[in-house]
Amino acid sequence: MIHSLFLVNSSGDIFLEKHWKSVVSRSVCDYFFEAQERASEPENVPPVIPTPHHYLISVLRHRIYFVAVIQSEVPPLFVIEFLHRVVDTFQDYFGVCTEAAIKDNVVVVYELLEEMLDNGFPLATESNILKELIKPPTILRTVVNTITGSTNVGEQLPTGQLSVVPWRRTGVKYTNNEAYFDVVEEIDAIIDKSGSTITAEIQGVIDACVKLSGMPDLTLSFMNPRLLDDVSFHPCVRFKRWEAERILSFIPPDGNFRLLSYHVSSQNLVAIPVYVKHNITFREGSSQGRFELTLGPKQTMGKAVESVLVSSQLPRGVLNVNLNPSQGTYTFDPVTKLLSWDVGKINPQKLPSLKGSMSLQAGASKPDENPTINIQFKIQQMAISGLKVNRLDMYGEKYKPFKGIKYMTKAGKVPEGRRDEAALP
Amino acid sequence: MTDSKYFTTTKKGEIFELKAELNSDKKEKKKEAVKKVIASMTVGKDVSALFPDVVNCMQTDNLELKKLVYLYLMNYAKSQPDMAIMAVNTFVKDCEDPNPLIRALAVRTMGCIRVDKITEYLCEPLRKCLKDEDPYVRKTAAVCVAKLHDINAQLVEDQGFLDTLKDLISDSNPMVVANAVAALSEIAESHPNSNLLDLNPQTINKLLTALNECTEWGQIFILDCLANYTPRDDRESQSICERVTPRLSHANSAVVLSAVKVLMKFMEMLPKDLDYYGTLLKKLAPPLVTLLSAEPELQYVALRNINLIVQKRPEILKHEMKVFFVKYNDPIYVKLEKLDIMIRLASQANIAQVLAELKEYATEVDVDFVRKAVRAIGRCAIKVEQSAERCVSTLLDLIQTKVNYVVQEAIVVIKDIFRKYPNKYESVIATLCENLDSLDEPEARAAMIWIVGEYAERIDNADELLESFLEGFHDESTQVQLQLLTAIVKLFLKKPTETQELVQQVLSLATQDSDNPDLRDRGYIYWRLLSTDPVAAKEVVLAEKPLISEETDLIEPTLLDELICHIGSLASVYHKPPSAFVEGSRGVQHKRLPPRSGSGESTESPEGAHSGGAAIPEAVPAVIPSQGDLLGDLLNLDLGPPTTGVAPAPTSAMQMGAMDLLGGGLDSLMGDDSEPLGGDIGGSPAIGAGFGGTPAVMPASLNAPVGGGLGDLFDLGGGVGTTTSAYVAPKTVWLLAMKAKGLEIAGTFSRRGGVIHMELSLTNKAMSVMTDFAIQFNRNSFGLAPAGPLQVLTPLSPNQTTEVSLPLSTVGPVMKMEPLNNLQVAVKNNIDVFYFSCLYPISILFVEDGKMERQVFLATWKDIPNENEAQFHIKDCHLNSDAASSKLQSSNIFTIAKRTVDNQDMLYQSIKLTNGIWVLAELRLQAGNSNYTLSLKCRAPEVSQCVLQCYETVLKN
C-alpha cells in the first residue's frame, strides 16, 4: 500500500512529506529527480519509476509533483486515483492547489492526509465526509476559533461514513432547494490537410450542483440514451436501473459532484462544428512567405461559436510575421515561434480571417508548409453529440426544487489539429 | 493568519522556544506550539528532541490537539521507544472511550507506532476493537491487524487475530468486509502459502454482495481478491462475471481495471461458443477506450495493460485503432505506448491509416518518438506482408530527408525487413550505401555492416566499404566490431579471391589487438573454421537464417497468461512476473489462468507467438538428416581390397562417428562457389601464406601443418598434369594432417588414355611410419570406384611424400550426391581410418567416343525439351573459336559443326558421359568480346552446372 507521499515543486524541492508506515528517507526522491532531469518537458516524467527498494508513482498537477512511494505490489492506478483525490480535496478545501496554499494550511493538509489514508489503506476520501471530520478553513472560522479556542476538527463520527449512502451526510437543510446540471462536451479531433477527419471523439460529463434538503432521490432521463454506451458513473448511480431502463436513478451527494462521464466514439459520426481554410506558402530562395487563414462555423444548429482561439507552431525558419486579422488580436512569439490568434466570436456573415506575410531567416531552406493548427472554442447551449435531458424528477421529499440544465460544447484537451498531408498514394 | 507562520521561526533557539510553549498553561498556546512542531516535521526538520513535551500534551479533551500529538507520535516513537511507553496508558484509556471516533483513532495510532514494547500492550485493546459494536471501529481495527502483522507477525498468529480477521469477511457491514479483505491480502502477500484467503463459493458470494455497497477503494480490494479465486465450473465463472460487469462503468479507473482483470481471467473458463462470451467481449472494449481519455498518468498504466490485453485477446480492441492515434500534446511516455499498441493492432484492414499516421510521427520534433515511429514502420512491414512494399518506400522517403537519426533508425529496420523478405527489396541497398558516412550510432553502423556482409555478392565495392569501417576498428563499439568481423568473414567466403588480406587483417585485429573476450573468441572460431574446414565455415557463417517472426517483442505465452492475472498491478506495467521484481514478496506463487472447462480446447495463443524461438531448432534438423544418412553409408564401407565389394561394417569404424562430414578442402569451397577451379589457385597461395605467416598466437599445431601443407602443394602443382593434353587441375589438399593423425592427402583427377585416374600425394606428417594403405569410395553419382588397390609400395616414413595414381572405374554403386560431383572417400592405414570428401571435375567422365553424328545432333537437339536448356555466360576468355575447339577436344568435348553468323562463331559440340548421358552444347564466341555464351541441352539437366565448370576450367587454362 502507499507508504509515503512527497510533494515536489517545479524547482525540484520537496516541500512536504508524509509517511503512513515507517519513515522513508527523502533520498528516495533522487531517482525521481533523475527522471525529471532526463525529461524534456515537466509533463514527460514517467508516472512509474522503479528504484532498488521502492516504486515511485507520481502525478503532476498544478505544477506540483505528487510522488507516492510504494514498496509492495500495489495497483498503480489505485495510487494515481488516490493522488488525484488528494489534489481534488486540496482544491476543494483551499480553493487552489498551489505550493503557497498547501504551505499556508500545512496542518490541515497533514490532518487531511492522515484522515484519507491509514497504513496505506484509503480511509475517507469523500469530500462530504472529510468536511465533517475536518472543517475547511475560512477566514470567519479562523477568527472564531482564535476567540473561542474551539477547533476545526469535528468531534462526532461522520454520519455518512457507515451508511449505505456514504457520499451523503444526513440532516442537510437549505432554504432554497436547487439542482443544477451542466452537460459539458469536449470534442477532440485531428483533421488532415485536405479537411477529412482522422479521428474525432467526444468526451462528455454531466457535472451537478445539488443543494437539496433531506434525502432526495432523483431520477434523470434522456431523450436519446442510446448515445451513452460508454459511461462511468458516480457511485451513487443505481446501475441496475440504468441497465434495465436507461434512467439515472440516484441519491445525490451534497454539493458539487460529477454524476457521469461518457465517451462518444468516432464510430458514431461526430460532426466538427468549425472549419479552417488555410494557405501557407514559402517560395524557394525567397525570404518571404504568405500566410492566410479563414475560419467558419459548420453544423452548429444556429448556436454561436465563441471564445475562439487559434494557435499554431510556425516552422523554425520563420523570423517574424506581419499579419492582419479581420477581427480579434494576434501575437507571435519569435522565440517559441508560437502564433496565437484570439478570434472571439465567429460571425457567420463575416468570416474571421488572418492574412499577411512572414519573414524568413535568410538562407534557410524552405520550411515545412504544414504546421499544426489548434483551435479552441466554446458553443453554449448545445451538446455536439446531440445528448438531451428529458426530465428530472425527485422522490422522497415533499418540497419543490428549482431545477436547471445547461449545455456546452468546447474543444477538448487536444483541439483540432491540422496535420500536414496524411493521404496515402 | 495562516499556517505558513509556523515555518518562519528559524532562530537558533527555536527548539528551546517551542519547549517553553509546549509546557505553557494556556491550551491555545499549547496547540499552536504543537502545530509548529508538526509543521517542522512535515518539511523534514528533526524535532524529536521535543518528544516528552509533546507527549505531555496528549491527555486532553481537545480532539484536534490529540490528533496532532498522535501524528507526532507516529513519526518519532521509533526513535524514542522508552518515551513512547509513556503514551501507552493514554492509548489504552482512549480505546475505552464512549466516542467511537476516539476508540478508532487510538487503535489506529497504536498500530502505527512501530515499537515492540508498545505492540504488546496493543493486543488487548485490538481484540476488543475487532469485536466493537461500531463498524467504524471494526474496520479500523481490521487494518490495524495488518499493521501489527508487519511489525510482529508471530504475535498476530499467536493471538489468533488472523481468525478474527477471517470472521470479519462475513461481517454485516460492507466497509468492514472490504478492509478485512485488504488486510488479509496484504498479510497473504508476505505469506504466500498460508492460505489465509480461503475462498469458497460462500465467501465469494459475501464478497460479491459487499462489492456493490462498499467504497471504491474497497471495491478494488475485493476485486483483486476475487481474481485469485478459481471457479469450479463455467457456470459459476459466468455468474461471477455477470456480477462484476457493472464495475466496468465505475468512475474510478482502478476499479475498472481490477474488474477487467477478473473478467479477463474468468473468461478463460467460458466456452467460446457461449453467447455470453461474445457479450462479454463487447462489454470490455468501451471501458478500456474510456481509460484513454483520462489523465496521462492513468493513460500510461492503462496502455501498458491494454498492451497485454491486445496480445491475449486481439479481438476486443481490433476496431478501436483510432483511439490509439497519438495526440500532439500527449506526454512522450503515452506516445510511445500508443505506438506500440498501434503496431499490435495493425492489420491488412487498417494498415493504410496506420502508415499515414506513422509517417506523420516520423516528422515530429521529439527524437525518441520519431525513432520509435520509424521502427514502427519497419514492424508494420514485417507484420503485414501486403504493406511491406509501401513501408519500404516510406522508409526510403524518410532516408531522403537526411535527418541523421531518422536515417539511422531506417537502416536498422530495413535490416529486419531484409531478414523477413529476403531477395525482395535488395534494390534499395544502393540508397543505403549512400548514407554510410552519416551513420554514427553503433546500432545503425552494425546494421549497415550486416547488410553489406550479407549481400556482399551484390555490392561491387563491399570490400572497400568494409575496409573503410576497419580503419577505426578499435574505436568502434563491441556490437560494431563483432558485426564487422562476421561481415568480413562472410565477404571472404563469398569472394575469397579478393579479400584474403582484409579477412586476415580483421582476424588479427580481433584476436591480437582486442581485449574483448567475445570478440577474441569469435575471431578464433572463425579463424579455425576457415583454416581447418572452409566448407564448414561456409555452412556455419553463411547458413540460411530463419525468417524473423512477425512480432519479435511478443510476450512469451506463459508469462502473458501470468501477467493477465496481474492486470492493473505493477507487474503489468513492467511486463515482468511479480516474483521478478517486487521486494518482500518472498516466493510469490505464480498465478495461472484457469483452464477452459468446455470442450478441452487448449488455451489459444496469439498467432505467431511461438514462431520466434522455434524456427531455429527447426532449421537445424533440416541440415542434419541428409548428412546423417551419408554418415551411415560411409561407416558401412568395407576398407578391404576394393574388388570384394561391400562387406559387413567393421565395428571399429563405427566409433569414428566423430569425423567431420562437412569436411573438404579449399577446393571444394571454391568449387561450391562455381568459380573456376584454376582461377582460384592464384589466390590460394596467398591464403596459405597468410595463414602460415600469422601470429604466434595461433597454436603451433594448427598453424604449421596448414601453411606447410599448402606450400608443399604448390610446389608440386605445376608438374602433375603435364603428361596429358587434357587439362588437369593442380592437386589440392583433401585431407588435412591434423585431422588424420598426421596423414595429409592432396590430390586431383585426370583422364589418361580413356582411364580415369585419381592422382594422390600422401604425406606423412606424423612421427611414426605409416603402412597398410587402403582406399574406398562411398556410393556416388556416377559410380566411381577404385579399379585396383591403393599401391603404396613402401612404408611411408615421417616427412615423406609419395605419389600414387589410382585408376578408377565407373561400375561402382550409384547414389545421387549433392553436389553431383561430390565424392566421399575413406582412407585407411595402420593408424586409423580417415574420411574426406572431394569434388571431381566432371570432364574425367567425358568418353573418347563422344562425337555425335551431325544428323543425330540436330535431331537430338530438337528432341530435348526446351526446359532442359541451360544458358551460361563464360567471362574473360580470350581464345578464338579454333583454339577453343581444340582445347575442348582434348578434354573430349567434340566440335561437330561450326557456323559463323554476323561475325559470331557458333560451335556445336557434343559430350558423352561414362554412364551414356549425352550433353549437347552450343558455344557462341564473338571476336573482340571475351564473354562466351554457352547453351547446354541434356536429358539430365542436373549435369549442366558441372559441365559448365568444365568448360570454364578447360577454356581458361
Q: What is the pLDDT of residues B321-353, one digit of tens each?
A: 888 988 877 888 999 999 999 988 988 888 888
CA nearest to A308, candidates A345, A350, A347, A351: A345
- What is the band of B241 on the pLDDT scale with cuts at 50, 70, 90? very high
Decide: helix, strand or coil at residue B32: helix
When scoring A26, A38, A82, A107 by the number of chain B Cβ atoms within 10 A, the one with the most, hence best to mutate, is A107
pLDDT in tens, A29-74: 999 999 988 888 888 889 999 888 889 999 998 889 999 999 888 8
Helix ranges (DSSP H) in B48-172: 51-56, 63-76, 81-94, 100-112, 116-130, 135-151, 153-158, 161-168
Q: Contact, B764 vs B685, CB < 8 A?
A: no
Rounded CA separation B388/B381 (Å): 4
Shortest alpha-carbon distance between residue A295 and chain B (Å): 21
Q: Contact, B448 vs B411, CB < 8 A?
A: yes
Backbone angles phi, psi at A357, to 5 degrees: -120, 160
User: Cβ contact (<8 Å) for B325 and A240?
Assistant: no
Percent of chain B residues topping a pLDDT of 90: 7
Strands B732-735 and B743-752: antiparallel
Chain centroid offset of residue B100 CA? 62
B806: which DSSP letter? E
**In residues, how long is chain A?**
425
Q: Contact, A48 vs B573, CB < 8 A?
A: yes
User: Cβ contact (<8 Å) for B150 and A21?
Assistant: yes
User: Angle at which helices B135-151 and B174-190 pack, to 10 degrees?
Assistant: 10
Question: Which residues does residue A232 pair with via DSSP β-bridges, in sequence order?
Answer: A261
pLDDT in tens, B360-404: 888 887 888 899 899 899 888 888 888 888 889 889 888 888 888
pLDDT in tens, A115-134: 898 888 888 888 777 887 78
User: Cβ contact (<8 Å) for B147 and A47?
Assistant: no
At residue B198, the pLDDT reads 75
User: Cβ contact (<8 Å) for B146 and A119?
Assistant: yes
CA nearest to B306, candidates B288, B279, B321: B288
**In residues, how long is chain B?**
957
- Please indicate if any CB of chain B lies within 8 Å of the CB of A163: no
Residues 342-371 of B with CB under 8 A from A: 352-353, 355-357, 359-360, 363, 366
CA nearest to B634, candidates B828, B830, B844: B828
User: Cβ contact (<8 Å) for B322 and A121?
Assistant: no
Shortest alpha-carbon distance between residue B454 and chain A (Å): 32
At residue B702, the pLDDT reads 39
Rounded CA separation B360/B362 (Å): 5
Strands A178-191 and A416-418: parallel
Helix ranges (DSSP H) in B5-80: 14-22, 27-42, 51-56, 63-76
Mean pLDDT, range B520-529, rounded to an integer: 89
CA nearest to A204, candidates A416, A414, A407, A415: A407
User: Cβ contact (<8 Å) for A43 and B331?
Assistant: yes
- Please indicate if any CB of chain B lies within 8 Å of the CB of A316: no
Rounded CA separation B753/B757 (Å): 10
User: Cβ contact (<8 Å) for A232 and B390?
Assistant: no
Question: Which residues does residue A402 pair with via DSSP β-bridges, in sequence order?
Answer: A178
Q: Choose the closest CB to A118 out of B140, B297, B300.
A: B140
Q: Given a cut of 50, is residue B840 above it in pLDDT? A: yes
- Please indicate if any CB of chain B lies within 8 Å of the CB of A199: yes
User: Cβ contact (<8 Å) for A104 and B215?
Assistant: no
Torsion sign over Cα B81, B86, B92, B94: negative
Lowest mean pLDDT among B250-264, B577-591, B608-622, B746-760: B608-622
CA nearest to B359, candidates A140, A22, A423, A132: A423
Q: When comparing pLDDT for B628 and A74, which is higher?
A: A74
Q: Choose the closest CB to B179 out of A18, A121, A232.
A: A121
Rounded CA separation B392/B384 (Å): 12
Q: Which three cell numbers stand for residue B863?
A: 528432341
User: Cβ contact (<8 Å) for B173 and A107?
Assistant: no
User: Cβ contact (<8 Å) for A122 and B215?
Assistant: yes
CA nearest to B388, candidates B400, B380, B396: B380
- Please indicate if any CB of chain A lies within 8 Å of the CB of B2: yes
Lowest mean pLDDT among A246-255, A389-398, B626-635: B626-635
User: Angle at which helices B351-361 and B332-345 pack, to 10 degrees?
Assistant: 150
Which chain A residues are Cβ-neighbours of B251 within 8 angstroms?
Answer: 232-235, 258, 261
At residue B416, the pLDDT reads 86
Mean pLDDT, range A95-101, rounded to an integer: 88
Percent of chain A residues topping a pLDDT of 90: 13
Q: Which three cell numbers stand for residue B133?
A: 459494536
- The complex scores an ipTM of 0.79
| Interface A-B: count of C-beta contacts within 8 A | 272
Rounded CA separation B385/B402 (Å): 27
The angle subtended at Cα B666 by Cα B660 and Cα B672, nearest 5°, is 90
pLDDT in tens, B599-623: 444 444 444 334 333 333 333 333 3
Residues 185-244 of B with CB under 8 A from A: 186, 189, 213, 215-217, 220, 224
Q: Choose the closest CB to B254 out of A19, A77, A125.
A: A77
Half-sphere exposure of B558 (CA within 13 A, CB side): 1
Shortest alpha-carbon distance between residue B150 and chain A (Å): 10
- What is the band of B624 on the pLDDT scale with cuts at 50, 70, 90? very low
Alpha carbon separation from B31 to A140, B54, B60 (Å, rounded): 19, 10, 11
> If residue B418 lies in a helix (H) or strand (E), which one and from where to where?
helix B404-420
User: Cβ contact (<8 Å) for B215 and A125?
Assistant: yes
User: Angle at which helices B161-168 and B116-130 pack, to 10 degrees?
Assistant: 40
Q: Which three cell numbers stand for residue B473?
A: 576498428
B664: which DSSP letter? -
pLDDT in tens, B91-119: 888 888 888 888 888 888 888 887 777 77
Q: Which three cell numbers stand for residue B31?
A: 496547540
- Please indicate if any CB of chain A lies within 8 Å of the CB of B258: yes
At residue A8, the pLDDT reads 92
Alpha carbon separation from B382 to B128, B451, B607 (Å, rounded): 66, 17, 14
Sheet holding B755-764, edge to edge: B732-735, B743-752, B755-764, B801-809, B785-786
Other Cβ atoms within 10 Å of B35 Cβ, number? 20
Rounded CA separation A342/A280 (Å): 19
Rounded CA separation A237/A228 (Å): 14
Which chain A residues are Cβ-neighbours of B60 within 8 angstroms?
Answer: none
User: Cβ contact (<8 Å) for B78 and A263?
Assistant: no
User: Cβ contact (<8 Å) for B251 and A105?
Assistant: no
- Please indicate if any CB of chain B lies within 8 Å of the CB of A414: yes
Mean pLDDT, range A240-268, rounded to an integer: 84
pLDDT in tens, B738-754: 777 788 888 888 888 78
Alpha carbon separation from A422 to A190, B137, B322, B524 (Å, rounded): 11, 62, 14, 52
Chain centroid offset of residue B725 CA? 56
Q: Given a cut of 70, is residue B773 above it in pLDDT? A: yes
Q: Contact, A47 vs B332, CB < 8 A?
A: no
Rounded CA separation B343/B339 (Å): 6
Q: Contact, B334 vs B341, CB < 8 A?
A: no
Shortest alpha-carbon distance between residue B52 and chain A (Å): 20
User: Cβ contact (<8 Å) for B136 and A157?
Assistant: yes
Q: Which three cell numbers stand for residue B491?
A: 565477404
Rounded CA separation B180/B140 (Å): 9
The angle subtended at Cα B56 by Cα B54 and Cα B60, nearest 5°, is 105
- Please indicate if any CB of chain B lies within 8 Å of the CB of A235: yes
Q: Choose the closest CB to B570 out of A73, A109, A233.
A: A73
CA nearest to B258, candidates B295, B287, B282: B287
pLDDT in tens, B54-95: 888 777 777 778 888 888 888 787 777 777 777 788 888 888
At residue A250, the pLDDT reads 92
Backbone angles phi, psi at B762, to 5 degrees: -100, 125
Q: When comparing pLDDT for B64 and B720, which is higher?
A: B64
Mean pLDDT, range B144-158, rounded to an integer: 86
Strands A373-380 and A416-418: antiparallel
Q: Contact, B902 vs B920, CB < 8 A?
A: no
Rounded CA separation A337/A352 (Å): 22
Which chain A residues are Cβ-neighbours of B577 within 8 angstroms?
Answer: none
Rounded CA separation A237/A215 (Å): 14
At residue B300, the pLDDT reads 94
- What is the band of B676 on the pLDDT scale with cuts at 50, 70, 90? very low
pLDDT in tens, B803-833: 888 888 888 888 788 788 888 888 888 888 8
Alpha carbon separation from B260 to A178, B246, B306 (Å, rounded): 38, 11, 10
- What is the band of A155 on the pLDDT scale with cuts at 50, 70, 90? low
> pTM to 2 decimals?
0.66
Question: Which residues does residue B905 pair with via DSSP β-bridges, in sequence order?
Answer: B900, B925
Q: Choose the closest CB to A110 out of B38, B179, B581.
A: B38
Shortest alpha-carbon distance between residue B446 and chain A (Å): 27
User: Cβ contact (<8 Å) for A106 and B4?
Assistant: yes
Residues 556-585 of B with CB under 8 A from A: 566, 568-571, 573-574, 578, 581-585
Lowest mean pLDDT among B17-21, B120-124, B451-455, B925-929: B925-929
B699: which DSSP letter? -
- Please indicate if any CB of chain A lies within 8 Å of the CB of B402: no
When scoring A19, A66, A73 by the number of chain B Cβ atoms within 10 A, the one with the most, hence best to mutate, is A73
B38: closest chain A residue by CA: A107
**Which phi-psi region, left, alpha or beta, contains residue A8 (left: φ > 0; alpha: ψ -120 to 50)?**
beta
Q: Contact, B841 vs B749, CB < 8 A?
A: yes
Mean pLDDT, range A244-273, rounded to an integer: 81
Rounded CA separation B866/B484 (Å): 45
At residue B223, the pLDDT reads 93
Q: What average pLDDT does chain B have?
A: 78
Rounded CA separation B72/A287 (Å): 68
Mean pLDDT, range A94-112, rounded to an integer: 87
Shortest alpha-carbon distance between residue A175 and chain B (Å): 31
pLDDT in tens, B404-432: 888 888 988 888 888 888 878 878 888 88
Shortest alpha-carbon distance between residue B302 and chain A (Å): 8
The angle subtended at Cα B777 by Cα B774 and Cα B781, nearest 5°, is 165
Rounded CA separation A341/A330 (Å): 4
Half-sphere exposure of A159 (CA within 13 A, CB side): 5
B391: closest chain A residue by CA: A424
At residue B708, the pLDDT reads 38
> If residue B833 lies in a helix (H) or strand (E), which one and from where to where?
strand B833-839
Q: Given a cut of 60, is residue A160 above it in pLDDT? A: no
pLDDT in tens, A384-424: 888 888 888 998 888 888 988 888 888 765 544 444 332 22
Shortest alpha-carbon distance between residue B152 and chain A (Å): 14
